[in-house]
A and B are shown apart, each in its own frame.
Chain A
Amino acid sequence: MGKIKKLEQVKYKVFLVLIIFQVTISLLSFLAIKSEIHSQKEKFGTVMTAPSLADIINYLRLFNIFYIIIGLLTILPGIFLYQYFLGSKSIYTMLRLPGKYSRLKFYIGQVRFSIKGILELWFIQLLLLFVVYLLYILIIQRESIIENHWYRFWEANYISMIYPFTRLWDFIPLVFMEVLLANISILLVLIERSRKRSILAVIGIILSVAGIYSYSTGLLHSLWIVPVTGILSVAISVFYIYKVEIV
């Protein structure tokens, strides 16, 4: 539908702004570090070790906007669903669509934009990291950069949570995180809509939060918590959409 196309365009514009912003800030900070190193060298003659890229990114809070955008994408499915369930009562039409999987398709339609957006953002930020890394290497002199900087970069907590190249198994929970995030706002809407029978949806929310929490804090670092909570909460959403009654 036309609205989605417009949203897609807005999304890409936002990504573009994000990239420009992040690259510019990184560039400026590298240049600042370079001149700092230079003046240090002149003053004391020794070579100062530059902060690692991971630390710089952390310091600049470069990824904050990344998370904000993820947050917005997470809310969207709920907004889409809200529009269908309330307001214009078009749910009367949606729940009459023929075909066994029409309600499942309905659910997928709600989360598709969000999941696609999160995926795209993930890739774009990855490319950005490469670009920024390249700039880092070019601008900051060899001698100031610490040993094994490349591997240590990807091992940094901050980075490896989102880009777990050093622990490949971690991609499994990462993928399910996407799904968890896209599904949360739908559960919230379903709670609001069902009111009386919303216990199951509340359980879904608790599961989702547990999954996200365990992943981001590495607290219960088990490979399977996020996938399991992810699948369960999606199942709960789909169950609701199949069972919902319009009173």
Chain B
Amino acid sequence: MLKCENIYKKYGSVVALDDVSLEFRPGEIVGLLGENGAGKTTLMKTILSYIRPNKGRVTLDGEKIGPNNIDRIAFATSEHSFFGGLDALEHKAFYHMQFERFNEKRFDSLLEFFELPKKTKIKNFSTGQKNQFEVILALSQGADYILMDEPFAGNDIFNREDFYKVLLGILDDNECLILSTHLIEEIKNFISRAVLLHKGQLIGDVTTLELDDKNIDLMEYMRKQYSYRSDRVIETLMKNEK
């Protein structure tokens, strides 16, 4: 289990994450949703220990995230974390050397599936191909928690639908995917759980099965959660006016 406990992070006077607590389990496909600046990327970077929170901590099966277990968390970002000057085979060799759980089979079959060239430097790929390669690396690392931060920026809708299918087909029950996106309509069938962030706060956490049971659509749920916030603001204002 990947656990975020009371994460608080401040940049200057801006509170990026305000007492956020979350638990992630194997087998989940989690949509991390929220507007720009809601704190999605900050949360991911905190989990990956790129950033240290002011308060709170992140643990993986009870242990702090460190050099011994960092390989159990993978990351794909639309900013691209690969080495532009290397080609696919060189990346494979590098990952094989660095990550003991690296899944060569999966890497090879995904490379083939997306029809990506093996000996071209990644910086010479198209944007769509770069996104695909970035995701391939994250999926092949051998991690059980895979974080993706808006990985499809620049891909057209047909590519994205391919992506979702590939992910559904390839993820096994031990893997947890945490996907940060603003394309809510697209991913609502794909995810099993939706986590909502707004201005650094956790304002929603619901499984899609729960939404089904109550016959509420995801968009509806989100609107409710957002307006719950603004309703409270209005309430408070009106109270003060009286």
Query: Chain B 107-142 against A: per-residue CB contact (8 Å), 1 yes, 0 no?
Result: 000000000000000010000000000000100000
What mask results when residues 8 to 30 of chain B are scored 1 for a CB within 8 Å of chain A, else 0?
A: 00010000000000000000000
| Contact count band on A | 20 to 34
Query: In the assembled complex, which residues on chain B have CB atoms less than 8 Å from the CB atom of A13?
Result: none
- A2-B90, A98-B70, A98-B99 known; A88+B84 contact, CB < 8 A: yes
**Inside 8 A of B50's CB, which chain A residues have their CB?**
92, 95, 245-246
Known: A3-B85, A246-B51. A98 touches B80 (CB 8 A): no
Contact A97 B86 (CB under 8 A): no
Residues 1-42 of chain A: 1 if any B CB is under 8 Å from the residue's CB, otherwise 0? Answer: 111000000000000000000000000000000000000000
Contacts of A61 in B (CB 8 A): none
**B188 contact set on A, CB distance < 8 A:** none
Question: Could you tell me the distance between the alpha carbons of A3 and B85 in the complex, rounded to whole angstroms?
Answer: 9
Which of A1, A93, A246 neighbours the largest number of chain B CB atoms within 10 Å of its CB? A93
Residues of B within 8 A of A92 (CB): 50, 75, 77, 79, 81
A85 CB to closest chain B CB, in angstroms?
12
Report which residue of B11, B83, B90 has the largest number of chain A beta carbons within 10 angstroms of its beta carbon.
B83
| A 72-111 to B, binary, CB cutoff 8 A, 1 in contact else 0 | 0000000000010001111111011111101000000000
Across chains A and B, which 8 residue pairs bring their CB atoms closest together, nearest first? A92-B81, A88-B84, A98-B71, A246-B50, A100-B67, A90-B83, A93-B81, A89-B79
Judged by a CB distance under 8 angstroms, whether B98 is at the interface is yes
Q: Is the CB of B86 within 8 A of A1?
A: yes
CA distance A91 to B77 in the complex (A): 12
Q: Closest residue to B84 on the A side, CB-wise?
A: A88
B137 to chain A: closest residue by CB: A93
* Bound-state Cα–Cα, A245 to B54, Å: 13
Q: A92-B79, A246-B50 are in contact. Are A98 and B86 (CB under 8 A)?
A: no
Cα of A80 to Cα of B51 in the assembled complex, Å = 23
Docked CA distance A92–B81 (Å): 5
CA distance A100 to B48 in the complex (A): 15
Does A68 interact with chain B (Cβ within 8 Å)? no
Interface size band for B: 20 to 34
For residue B68, CB closer than 8 A to chain A, the reply is yes
- Evaluate contact between B79 and A247: CB separation under 8 angstroms: no
B81 touches A98 (CB 8 A): no
A92 vs B85: C-alpha distance when bound (angstroms): 15
Task: Say yes or no: is B45 at the interface (Cβ < 8 Å to chain A).
Answer: yes
- C-alpha spacing A156/B70, complex, angstroms: 55
CA distance A99 to B97 in the complex (A): 12
A15 CB to closest chain B CB, in angstroms? 25
| A88 adjacent to B51 (CB under 8 Å) | no
B57-74 interface code vs A (CB 8 A; 1 in, 0 out): 000000000011111010
- The residues of B that contact A98 with a CB separation of less than 8 Å are 67-71, 98-100
Bound together, the chains give a CA A88 to CA B83 distance in angstroms of 6
Extra contacts besides A2-B90, A88-B85, A92-B79 (15): CB < 8 Å: A1-B86, A1-B90, A3-B85, A88-B123, A89-B77, A93-B137, A97-B70, A97-B98, A98-B70, A100-B67, A100-B68, A102-B67, A102-B98, A245-B50, A247-B45
Judged by a CB distance under 8 angstroms, whether B82 is at the interface is yes
Min CB–CB distance A87 → chain B (angstroms) = 7
Q: With a CB–CB cut-off of 8 A, which chain B residues contact A97? A: 67, 70, 98
Q: Determine if B106 is an interface residue (Cβ-Cβ < 8 Å).
A: no
Complex contact B52–A245 (CB within 8 A): yes
Contact B51–A247 (Cβ < 8 Å)? yes
What residues of chain B lie closer than 8 Å to A90, measured between beta carbons?
81-84
| B82 interface neighbour in A3, A93, A102, A247, Cβ under 8 Å | A93
- Which residues of A sit under 8 angstroms from B71, Cβ to Cβ? 96, 98
CB B21 to nearest CB in A, in angstroms, measures 22
Most central of A88, A102, A247 by chain B CB within 10 Å: A88
- Chain A's closest residue to B85 (CB) is A3
Q: Give the distance to chain A from B75, nearest Cβ to Cβ, in Å.
A: 6
Chain A residue at smallest Cβ distance from B67: A100
